[in-house]
Structure 1
């Protein structure tokens, strides 16, 4: 089918404009659901040769995710990195080109588990260097009953996955002197992408404080990577771990991400060092609500921990 004959092209262009704004991932996904649902029919009616053929061309000279669009990627390999998280490495159609994704970008994954007619959509943040040519990697935590995570964990090398890029916030180097990254569980992946992106840019002097809350010590699956970044960038990057159920002899503090934990990590808005700070939050909904509060109905809004610490809404962004 010629590029301009796609009947859903106007809908996809509308989604491109939507995702170009600084909306949260959850809003972007909600805006895309209707479009992807219709576009799924197009995918169903397209032959496998049509879908994979367009993405199998190499030497195009252009990154695959340079603009919005759906693409089919072939799974190269899988690696179990802890008791419930897999690293999935997908091949890009042009092995000489990087993905074209920018900092704080995610991939909207689209699948049809167990022969479903309607697609399952979930966003995942790539964790390999964005300038690495030929590949994109996703770290996927398996959730009990999770439709997409179960499907992705079942994939074998050679299987294919349909994805589309989602832009999060537009990161500008040195716009903020300090950035606080507060993550829960698998919400660490966008924080890891951003941390490594900032620290690998010699022009970006932003200071980073990371607070990561997990269930067990084994859930700190990027601990070695963060330790290496701390060693390479002393005084600029600090990682704090909070474990709700630590093992015997655990070096990490027990509990949850609370006001006191954030204060102890140096993240009070009253601190002189935090006058120019941006706070980014990504984690399970209960954690995010506790941190950012709720708008509520009929005036029943609740203030979150970050408000209690002195942060204004425009200083906080939820992935």
Structure 2
């Protein structure tokens, strides 16, 4: 009898353990389902884009902006969807265009890009890309044809922005480095509650290279007390009335907000420009040490952000 009573108790423990394992598996299944649902909800919020998974998007249009710069329009699955990117965020783009691996496939190359279309634009999003001779990804963009697709992930928030977090934001941009600046400026100027002033210095080689000039000039015209833009050209034409040569310490001193914890300066452009203005980012893409003209002018690392 004792053995008989002991037997069922032993079986009961095993049964309980089995039920507990089953419950654990059930909870795991529920958690997996919940996470899957949250992923779908987040993806829906961003037009099908996901923060932690690569999703292919199809190129629907390609439009020439300047000689070697094009606007690439990617369509969303639902024409009523928008990517709804937070302010000061970007997307990651990847393609197998790197070095060949042992299995014969090529390594993925990943690059960040900031959409130039509004976060609330329905049915598509736009990327403006300049093709550089040594730019692996930019040359890949240059070879894209309508109907081709690219794997994209995001949004990736670079700088958490809140309205009125600074009184005056200065921006120094070169070439396609204007794209994150436009995104932030648009968010500030479209928000009547945000009183932040924005001053932009935008450097390019020639006048024809100035991308998104129409949008920038419209902002300056519509918000003269809150937005100003100063164009600088390496190779200006005879009748050019803007800045000439490279961006100088004097230009920064005259047009950027004074060093202060109430102000901030954003910098984005090709490495040579970054090195002169603020020092480039660190190899791991962190902010790195503040150097260059901005450091010489008395700014601290807390007052400068490198996109």
TM-score normalised per structure 1: 0.74
Structure 1 residue 304 displacement after superposition: 2.0
Instruction: Give matches, 1:132-147, under 5 Å.
Output: 132-147=121-136
The corresponding residue for 1:318 is 306
The corresponding residue for 2:64 is 80
Moved more, 96-105 or 274-283: 274-283
* 1:154 aligns with one of 130, 140, 143: 143
Q: Cα 1:173–1:79, aligned 2, differ >3 Å: closer, same or farther?
A: same
Distance in 2, Cα, partners of 1:288 & 1:234:
28
The question of whether the paired residues in 1 share the 8 Å contact of 2:163 and 2:188 is answered with yes
* SS in structure 2 of the partner of residue 81 of structure 1: strand
Runs of 4+ in 1 over 6 A off after TM superposition: none
* 2:95 aligns with one of 102, 106, 111: 111
The question of whether the paired residues in 1 share the 8 Å contact of 2:45 and 2:83 is answered with no
Instruction: Give matches, 1:269-284, under 5 Å.
Output: 269=259, 276-284=262-270
The question of whether the paired residues in 2 share the 8 Å contact of 1:89 and 1:138 is answered with yes
The question of whether the paired residues in 1 share the 8 Å contact of 2:68 and 2:131 is answered with yes
CA RMSD between the two structures: 2.7
Distance in 2, Cα, partners of 1:303 & 1:108:
27
The number of aligned residues is 257
The corresponding residue for 2:113 is 124
The corresponding residue for 1:170 is 160
Distance in 2, Cα, partners of 1:186 & 1:231:
22
The question of whether the paired residues in 1 share the 8 Å contact of 2:275 and 2:291 is answered with no
Distance in 2, Cα, partners of 1:66 & 1:195:
25
The question of whether the paired residues in 2 share the 8 Å contact of 1:99 and 1:131 is answered with yes
* SS in structure 2 of the partner of residue 118 of structure 1: strand
Identify unmatched segments of 5+ residues in structure 1: 14-56
Distance in 2, Cα, partners of 1:264 & 1:207:
15
* 1:287 aligns with one of 248, 264, 273: 273
Identify unmatched segments of 5+ residues in structure 2: 1-27, 283-288
Structure that is richer in strand per residue: 2
Encode CA deviations 1:21-74: one digit per residue, 9 max, x unaligned: xxxxxxxxxxxxxxxxxxxxxxxxxxxxxxxxxxxx9xx854323643211101
Task: Flag the structure with larger Rg.
Answer: 2
* SS in structure 1 of the partner of residue 166 of structure 2: coil
The question of whether the paired residues in 2 share the 8 Å contact of 1:229 and 1:237 is answered with yes
